[in-house]
Each structure stands twice: as C-alpha cells, then as structure tokens.
C-alpha cells in the first residue's frame, strides 16, 4: 500500500540572518530619518526667512561660524543656528565669512544671508579731511570718529597726508585710515612730481609739498591756486622772500589749532625757521597737508609776472607786478577793512540801542501794571 509520509522538519531561522535583517531595517529606517532631516534642513536653508524688512547685521571681527549663527538666530534673522552652521560647512564657506556690517534684505533665506556675508560688500562709512588741515587736526578728527577704533601710534609728519574723503567699515582702526592717507599722498605726489614743469626752483618732492602747503593756506579759491603758486615761484627765482603770513602762524601754533587773532609786529619781526619774512627760501617744512590741486599748482604754476597779492574783499586776491601797484591794492584793501569795521561797529551799536529800548519799554509796562 502506501508508505508512511515523512514529516518535513521546519528549520529555525539562523540567528545571524535575523540580526542582519534587523540591522538592515535599522539602517533603512536611519537613512529614511537622516534623509528626512536633510530634506527638512535643506528646505529650511533655502526657504524665505522671518525678517519683514531690510536689516543691518554686524559680524564681529574674528567671529567664527558658531558665534555668527547664534547671533543671527538671537536677532531673529534665521530660525535655526544649527541649520545655518551645517549649511555653511556644506557649502565650504565656513572660512569665508567677513567682518563688518551687512544689509540683509527682507525675507532673505539662510542661503541668501550666507552669500551676503561671504560675497557681499560690508557697509562703508567715510570721513572727510579738508584741504589744508594740519596733521594734528587730522588726528583730532579721526579721534572724534566714533565708528573707528584703536589709538593712533603717533601724529604723522606734516605734509605726509592727503586730504580727501576716505571710506572705511565700522570697527576699522584709526591707524588704518591714516595709512590710507599716507599711501594716497605718496602715490599722488609721485605722479605730480613726474609731470612737473621744467626749470622750477624746487629740487625735491618734499620742497614741492612745502610750497604747496603755503599755497593751500594762502587761498581758498581753486582758480587762484596756480596764480598764487606762480607768484611764489617768481619770488624764489628772483631771490625774494616769500613773506607769507601763514608760515609765521604755523611757527607759533605748530599746527595745533588756530591762532584766533591777527599777527603782532613782534611776531613778524621774530626770526624762526618758519617765518618767511625773516628767512630766505622755503621754511623748514610744510605748514599743512596740501590737497592734490595745490600740489599740481606748484608743479605747473600759472605763467605770470606778478610778485605780490593781497585780499581784494571778495574772497579772492588782487595781484600786482610791481610794489607800487601792490601798495595801491593794499590801500584799497585797508579801505574795505575800515568800512567793514565801521559797519560792524554801527550794527553792534544799533543792536545795543534796540536792547536798551526794549528794556526801557519793559520797565514802563511793569510800572504801569503796579
């Protein structure tokens, strides 16, 4: 008949296989979770940010990715400092973050912010140095600039700085701005010296700066500078003394502030290394920091026969070829000065009388009210 059916023996799963299956399940689950986290992070990194309007964000000097990320989160520019940090590292920009202040546009994503902090330009501020400022005055102006930092090592030599407007970022050092001025001066002077007229009674670039500083202090009118320079060049060629009042003033103040009064006869007669009424040729050094136009005026002066000039009452000067003509110009200027003084005294007297009248009327009103 039929033989006996053999029962199949069910083998128990191998322990290794079970562990392997469990491990693979965990790996897959982990990958799914990691993928989800990455997807979420990437989405957050690229999504519009929370700020509703343009914001200024300051990156401190020397700050690292972690510090910057926390600061961004604390100031409400990003939702997660962790995502910003990992995104920065993933984009290989963790060493490219720059210090300074940056404009962050409204709704900027973390990616937008990162690009701005690494590739954008920090907000620029500026300081303006007027032509004719002394080195002491320039240093004082930089000291008063609150957005600059640090101390100035020493006051630069007179005439070593170029007056102009200089840009800087918040937190830049005062010394670095001074170095910009020195570099700009050296570059400008080298070019001007290279293109100077032949036959000038000036032997070195330093002498050009000295004379340019005198021209700078003698006139505030740009159009007059070449003619004023021409007068001084003529006087040097003829062996005449420059007789410039600003040189006497610098010898007194050493460039620290203004004299605030007229020159005394004793000061004009006193021989110093700056008093061009008493010494031949140029003073020992510059009396200010001349601008480019004054240096150009000395390098390429106007062709003139004038040897003298004096104020003409309009803000400019009257030039003269002879001393006799100059005396007439001086007399005209003295008359203008006298008329102005009389007008000022009259105005002051009228103001005084008006105040006295008001006081008298007030006393009368007080008496009638009693």
Residues 234 and 278 in one domain: yes
Strands (E), 87-164: 100-104, 124-128
> Is 84 buried (19+), middle (13-18) or exposed (0-12) by CB count in 10 A?
buried
- Residue 133: what are its φ and ψ, rounded to 5°? -65, 145
Beta-strand runs (E) in the chain: 55-59, 100-104, 124-128, 165-169, 308-311, 317-320
228 and 151, same structural domain? no
How high is the pLDDT of residue 1?
A: 46
pTM confidence score: 0.77
For residues 131 and 108, membership in a common domain is answered with no
Last residue of a domain, one of 119, 135, 167: 119
Rounded distance between C-alpha atoms, residue 182 and residue 262, angstroms: 33
* CB-CB contact of 287 with 274 (8 Å): yes
Q: Is residue 9 part of a domain?
A: no
Let me know if residue 360 belongs to a domain.
no
The span from the CA of 136 to the CA of 254, in Å, is 9
User: Are 238 and 328 members of one domain?
Assistant: yes
Residues 218 and 323 in one domain: yes
Is the residue at 2 inside a domain?
no
Encoded tokens for 18: 């079970």
Residue 20 lies in a domain: no
Helix axes 81-90, 110-119, angle to 10 degrees: 60
Distance, CA of 106 to CA of 34 (rounded, Å): 31
**How many domains does the structure of the chain reveal?**
3
Considering the domain architecture, whether residues 215 and 299 belong to the same structural domain is answered as yes
In a domain, 305, yes or no: yes
Q: Which residue has the tokens 């290279």?
A: 194
Kindly state whether residues 256 and 276 are assigned to the same domain.
yes
Same domain (yes/no): 151, 260: no
- State whether 77 and 134 are in the same domain: no
Task: Write down how long the chain is.
Answer: 370
Q: Provide the residue-wise pLDDT of the chain in tens; the chain has 370 residues.
A: 445 555 555 555 567 666 766 666 666 766 566 555 565 568 788 988 899 999 999 998 889 999 999 999 999 999 999 999 999 998 999 899 998 899 999 999 999 999 999 999 999 999 999 999 999 999 999 999 999 999 998 999 999 999 999 999 988 999 999 999 999 999 999 999 999 999 999 999 999 999 999 999 999 899 999 999 999 999 999 999 999 999 999 999 999 988 988 999 999 999 999 999 999 999 999 999 999 999 999 999 999 999 999 988 888 999 999 999 999 999 998 898 888 888 888 888 888 888 878 877 777 666 666 6
Q: What is the pLDDT of residue 40?
A: 59
Enter the tokens of residue 356. Answer: 């006295």
Say whether both 225 and 322 belong to one domain. Answer: yes
Expressed as residue numbers, the domain containing 176 is 124-186
| Residue 111 domain flag | yes
List the CATH number of the domain containing 71. Answer: 3.30.1490.480
Same domain, 151 and 168: yes
Q: Is residue 192 part of a domain?
A: no
Task: Give the separation between CA 297 and CA 229, rounded to whole angstroms.
Answer: 6
Residues 100 and 157 in one domain: no
Token code pair at residue 30: 């982990």
Question: Domain for residue 358, yes or no?
Answer: no
d(CA 166, CA 155): 18
């Amino acid at each position: 008949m039929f033989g006996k059916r053999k029962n199949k023996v069910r083998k128990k799963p191998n322990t290794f296989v079970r562990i392997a299956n469990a491990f693979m399940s965990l790996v897959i689950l982990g990958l799914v979770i990691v993928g989800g986290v990455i997807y979420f992070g990437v989405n957050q990194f690229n999504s519009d940010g929370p700020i509703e309007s343009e914001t200024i964000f300051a990156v401190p000097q020397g700050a690292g990715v972690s510090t910057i990320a926390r600061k961004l989160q604390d100031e409400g520019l990003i939702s997660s400092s962790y995502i910003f940090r990992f995104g920065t590292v993933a984009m290989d920009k963790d060493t490219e973050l720059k210090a300074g202040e940056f404009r962050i546009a409204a709704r900027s994503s973390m990616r937008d912010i990162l690009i701005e902090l690494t590739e954008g330009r920090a907000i620029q501020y500026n300081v303006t140095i007027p032509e004719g400022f002394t080195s002491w005055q320039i240093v004082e102006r930089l000291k008063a600039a609150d957005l600059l930092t640090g101390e100035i090592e020493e006051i630069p030599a007179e005439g070593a700085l170029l007056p102009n407007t200089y840009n800087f970022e918040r937190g830049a050092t005062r010394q670095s701005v001074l170095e910009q001025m020195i570099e700009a001066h050296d570059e400008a002077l080298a070019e001007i010296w290279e293109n100077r007229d032949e036959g000038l009674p000036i032997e070195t670039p330093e002498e050009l700066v000295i004379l340019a500083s005198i021209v700078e202090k003698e006139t505030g009118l740009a159009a007059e500078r070449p003619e004023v320079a021409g007068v001084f060049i003529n006087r040097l060629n003829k062996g005449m003394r420059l007789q410039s009042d600003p040189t006497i003033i610098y010898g007194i103040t050493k460039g620290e502030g203004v004299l605030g009064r007229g020159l005394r006869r004793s000061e004009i007669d006193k021989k110093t290394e700056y008093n061009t009424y008493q010494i031949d040729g140029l003073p020992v050094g510059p009396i200010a920091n001349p601008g480019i136009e004054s240096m150009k005026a000395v390098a390429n002066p106007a062709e003139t026969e004038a040897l003298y000039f004096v104020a003409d009452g309009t803000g400019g000067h009257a030039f003269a070829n002879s001393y006799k003509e100059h005396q007439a110009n001086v007399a005209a200027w003295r008359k203008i000065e006298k008329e102005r003084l009389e007008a000022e005294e009259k105005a002051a007297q009228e103001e005084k009388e008006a105040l006295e009248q008001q006081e008298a009327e007030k006393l009368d009103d007080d008496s009638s009210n009693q």
